[in-house]
Structures are given as structure tokens and as C-alpha cells.
Chain A
């Protein structure tokens, strides 16, 4: 319809009128942009194929099946994928992906706890605490995060002792310059049942909460559910655990002649990286929390004080629920930033996605387009997931209009 309209309009116009017609111009500009970009892509892709052929680089994804042939720093990804140098390049991809996700997960938890703590401390009426928190934020947010990663890594391998002189915590955990050695949980058959019981506990808790909320809405009777939920979530798996005869034991690290054997080694690269990322990201989260709390109207706090709530009660019941509405969106953005920054691990040799796959495999295979494309898609996917989460949170947090 609209198209016809334009056409019929255009027919009756002289050339100079055509030149100044808005719709004609808009159409022309869009076609021109499209052609320009299409042309650019056409040239680029053409050159790409010429160059690839001239340099004898392979194309396609068959390299994923090839033998990787190099060692990867032993960490969670290795254990879960049973990685050996005989494994394929695809396995390296998974190892890197797992290691990225582990850093992101642990980093996000630590940064949130630290950020919440510092953000609240920043507004404390205790002069010293507030100044300390402010100093922390100003210090760590103004240092490039890569520098912080290098710094903590360097500190870690310099101040902790040689494996022979490891710090020992009751012969169960050890700390030395090769990392932290924790008891390694070994699952036996039947442990899956315990995990299932745990999940069932969570589902039952949700169902129960719904029921009591409905009851509260209808009759106004409030029931405390914390005890029941704890019982369901932790008690249920515990019963199964005991019934099945404890299907789990720990493999402790033992001090050998030169090095520790067994146990679960948490490499210094991971510790330094996670520490630096959390410390850095926590400054931004703290600022988000602070601006959230400051966004709460002063009258709310005064009203809370007027009806006799203690400071802790007022924080928990009045301030935080309103402050979080402002603070959560920027915090989730920081989670995305932390995940993206985890790619800096390349610089200290922690085998995450860009280090192991985008770095070592790329150097060996040379198929930059495919490898970097895969890595970028992973980050794109992660960031889409986080955006989705952000949208859901925003929707739930929005003040319901009446």
C-alpha cells in the first residue's frame, strides 16, 4: 500500500522536486548505505579467500578433530574433560570454556559479596569505616585490571613457599607457590541420588512457598518457612546420603619428595585472576550499591526510624529492597564485564577460552577466522544470556503500576 503511494507520488514530480522529496531521499540513502556495506564485505571476503589460498591456510572446522598435542595447566576443565595432549582441539575448546565459566562464576560471587560489603561500608556513619571503603574504591578502580592481575600473580608466586615448605592446614589443605591444595571430593556410585534429592528439595520448597504465600494473601496468616526450607533443601539429601552409606570420600594431598601429590590443586593463576577480577569489579558494584542506597528517599529512612525500627531492621526491610531496584541493573552489567575481563587470563597463562583455544590452538593451526569466530560467538552468547537476565530482572523489579 505505502509503496504504491510513494510511487504514485513520485510519478507526478519534476526532477528537482524528486531531489528534495524526503521519502525518495531516505530510500536513496538506505540503498546507498546497503550497497556500500555489501561492497565492503564483498571486497573483504574476496581478499580473505585470496590471502588464505596464497598463504596455504586450511579452511573449515576439520582442525577441531585433530590432536591438540600440548599440555594445559591442570585445572577444572582438564579434570572434567579428561584432557591429555592426545585429546582433540575441540576438547581444548571445552576445557577453555569450562575454565572461563569457573572464573566468571567464582569471581561474580566474590565480587558481589565484597561489593555489597564495601558499598554499605561507604555510607556507614562510622567515619573510619566510610573513609576506608572510599579509599578502597578510589585505589582499585583507578588501576588497570591487567596490571592488577600481573601484580597479584607475581605476589602469589613470590611470597608463598616452595612446595617442600608448604603451609599446611591440619594436613588437609596446603598452600605453596604452586597453588592451594584442597581435598578432592571423589564421588562414588549412588551420589547422583543425593543430588536428585537436593533438587527435589528445592522444588518442594518452591511449591511450599507458593502455598504459604497464597495462604497469606487469602487469610493474612503468615507462616515462617525458613526452618522447613532448610530441612527440605539440606535435610532430604542428608538422609539419602546417610542411607546410602556416605557415597563420597576425600582424596587428600600428600607431601611427596618434591611436590604435593593428589588432592585438588587450585593453580595460582586462577587464584590471582579471580582475586584481581573480584577486587576490581567489587569497586564498581560497591558504587552501584551506594548510588542505589542514596537514591532511596530520605523520608523513607526517617519514617522507618519514626515507627521504631532499629537501624538493621530499617536497612533490611525498608532501604535495601528499594535500593536494590536501582543497584541491580548496573551490577548485572558488571557481571558481564567481569566475564569479558576473564579473557585477560591469557596474559598469565591461565587456560581459559582465549588463552588455551584463542591463543595456543590459534598459534598451532593458524585458522584465525574460524577460531576467533568461535570464541567471539561464545562471548556473544554469554552476553545475550546476561542481557536476557537483565530484562527479566528489570521486568520483575519494575514498580507495579496501579
Chain B
């Protein structure tokens, strides 16, 4: 007898699907794997619960009454102090009390709207860069922002020019300073890096020699030695009497340091450009500058973008080193606030807080860089 109806598919046997099978294939495929699973579970058991307990379950959240967006939220009758917190778990009221220091440093409280606008601008900047990916005038928009953003930010934060009251650089601190050093470092060092990369690839022997020497020397020594040089020796290089801002000195050191690393990244991109592109540019009679600005660099920079982001991540991590020459970045704030006699011995909370802030920023940057890498990889394939 012929059957014309469609038979419903049978379910796979229970021994092929379900949680138990997943467990067996992924965790207990052999006795050694089983052992590893148990060992991993034990590792999680001894690390995660105590951490959660310290950070949340036994931690002190007695902030008193907090005003969030106009609503008074009552955490407790009074804010906890160092003694009522105890030593066994985290004392978050310490962070709450010092949050201004962590985020703005010694910036005058009545001028706090200025860093706030700066943070807002930075967020907007990132948002626009991510949103205009396929827009026609993308390059022009980004380029104009790259030029205006530092100028606006500088006027905003430093003041002067008869517009805003001046805030001296020694009052800048915390996350504000970290962001300033990182963004200024990247923006200044990038063009220098490109020039150095072109110099190292150049046919002109003298230029090639100087570029190579500079890049290799900087890359061989630790950033601290450069920062010490910038802070102790650089003032001696200038005419006596020139007064020189401490932050500016650190920025010069960081920019020179980072330029050498960017140069190597860009050089990688330059080397990946097929020789035919150079020859074609020469054949149509472009000058050296036209050739690089119109043909070579746009392609080379595009393939090096993931590595440029990667190198910027390293720079962001390296900004913490400025505390060694006495600038008060976010990490330095932990060491300072925990010296407060009312909050002695709360370094751990400070470090954990700063770790979380850094980690969130750096992790998103590294995710972004990986995303770019995947995007450019597929583009190159076809």
C-alpha cells in the first residue's frame, strides 16, 4: 500500500541529545577530561564564592541617603565610616566618598561641569565613529572631529582665552587625567609615527638611518626611562629659564615613545601593499607626497587599523606609569586616598574599583579591535 502522507520525522534517540550528552561530550569525554573538569570546578569553588562574598554579600553598602537624578534613595540612616565597616569585606562607602577624586582629581568643584561635558563629548565622539561606518562623508566627518575634539576639549578643561577660568594642570587628576594623557598621546604620536614609518621605508639613506635609529632605540628601553628623561633631562635641553609644565613633559615622553610603536605598526601596513601600487603611482607621474597621501597611506592605514587599536590599548595601559613621575592619574588616586587618616587601609577597595574601570574600558577596546580584524579579514578575502 502506497503512503502519500509525509511522515513526521522521529526525534533523535535520547542518547544523542540533551544535557547529559552535552556533559558527556564536553566535560567527561575521557577520565582525564573528567579529572580536569573536577579540578576546574574546584578552582572556581575556591575563588568565586569568597570574591562574591567580599564584593557584595558581606560588603558594606551603607551610603546614607544618595540623590540620584533628583530622587533621594536611602541606603541607610548614616553613612558608614572606616570603623563600622570592618576588615572582612569591602567597604564601598569609601569609594562613594572619594569618587570625585577618582573621576576628576583636584578639579575645582564649582567647575565640574567642564569635565562632565568633556566626558560627554568623548562618548559622543566614540558613538559617531561607530555609527557612521557606511555613511558617504564618513572620512570627512571623522577627520573634522579629530581636529576639533582636542581643541574644544583643551579649551574646556584648561580654560583661558578669556572664555573660562583657568584650571592649572596640577589640578587635573583621576580618570580625567588618564583619558587626557591617552587621547593626547594617541593624537600626537600618530602623525609622528606615520612620518617615521615612511622615513624607515624611504630610499634616502640618511632619513632611513635616523628613523630606524630612533624607532629601535625607543623600542629597546622601558617607558619609565623615557618618562624620567622627559621629567629630569628635557628641561635641561631647553634654554634656561623656560618653565615647563610637568604634564607637558610627560606627554612629550609618552608621545615620542608611542610614535615608535605606531611607526612599526604602520610600517607593517606599508610592507603589505603590493609593489605594483607603488609602481603604478610612479607611472602616472605622482610626486612622492601625492603617491603616499593618495595611494599608499590610505591602503596601508586601513589594513593596520586593528593593530593601531591594539597599540592604543597598550598606550592606555601605560598611562598608569605617569604616577611614578608624580602625576595624579586614577591609579595614583588610590594610593593617595587610602592615606586619608579617616579611611586608612582601604587600598584593596580602591584597587578593585580602579581595576573595574580600567578593565571595562580596555576590554571594550580589545573587543572592538577584534571586530575590526574580522571585518577587514573578510573584506580582503573577496
Q: Report A's interface with B, CB cutoff 8 A.
A: 26, 29-31, 33-34, 37, 44, 47-48, 50-52, 54, 124-129, 132, 138-139, 141-147, 150-151, 154-155, 158, 340-341, 343-344, 346-347, 354, 358, 362, 368-369, 372, 375-376, 379-380, 383-384
Contact = CB atoms under 8 A, between A and B. Distances in A.
Contact of A30 (B206, B228, B235): B206
B62 to A, nearest CB: 23
A372 B354 contact: no
B37 A368 contact: no
A276 to B, nearest CB: 12
Contacts of B233: 48, 368-369, 372
8 contacts: A126-B26, A127-B27, A132-B44, A142-B359, A151-B351, A154-B347, A154-B351, A346-B324
Give the top 3 A-B pairs by smallest Cβ distance, nearest first.
A368-B232, A383-B220, A127-B26
Contact of B320 (A138, A147, A379, A384): A147
B36 A33 contact: no
A26 B203 contact: yes
Interface string B259-278: 00000000000000000000
Contacts of B229: 368, 372, 376
Interface of B: 26-27, 29, 33, 36-37, 40-41, 43-44, 203-207, 210, 217, 219-225, 228-229, 232-233, 235-240, 317-321, 323-324, 331, 334-335, 345, 347-348, 351, 354-355, 358-359, 362-363, 366
B321 A340 contact: no
Nearest to A154: B347
Contact of B232 (A129, A150, A372): A372
Nearest to B323: A347
B220 A146 contact: no
Given A30-B206, A358-B225, 4 more contacts: A44-B237, A54-B240, A144-B320, A354-B228
Contact of A47 (B26, B237, B366): B237
Contacts of A141: 366
B83 to A, nearest CB: 17
Given A37-B210, A341-B222, A368-B232, A146 B348 contact: no
A54 B236 CA distance: 10
Contacts of B27: 126-128
Contacts of A347: 323-324
Contacts of B228: 354, 358, 362, 368, 372
A150 B351 contact: yes
Contacts of A375: 225
Given A47-B237, A47-B239, A126 B355 contact: no
B355 A340 contact: no
Main secondary structure on chain B at its contact with chain A? helix
B322 to A, nearest CB: 10
Given A48-B236, A145-B317, A346 B351 contact: no
Contacts of B236: 47-48, 51-52, 368-369
Contact of B321 (A29, A124, A344, A369): A344
B359 A143 contact: yes
Contacts of B319: 144
A124 B40 CA distance: 13
Contact of A142 (B235, B335, B362): B362
Contacts of B355: 143, 147, 151
A370 to B, nearest CB: 10
B240 A139 contact: no
B351 A146 contact: no
A51 B37 contact: no
Contact of A34 (B206, B232, B320, B348): B206
A79 B33 CA distance: 46
B2 to A, nearest CB: 45
A31 B225 CA distance: 31
A304 B345 CA distance: 57
Given A125-B26, A144-B320, A151-B351, A354 B222 contact: yes
Contacts of A383: 219-221
B224 A346 contact: yes
B36 A147 contact: no
Contact of A125 (B33, B41, B43, B362): B33
A354 B225 contact: yes
Counting chain B CB atoms within 10 Å of each CB, the highest count among A138, A151, A362 belongs to A151
Nearest to A311: B30
Nearest to B354: A147
Contacts of B323: 146, 347
Contacts of A144: 317-320, 331, 358
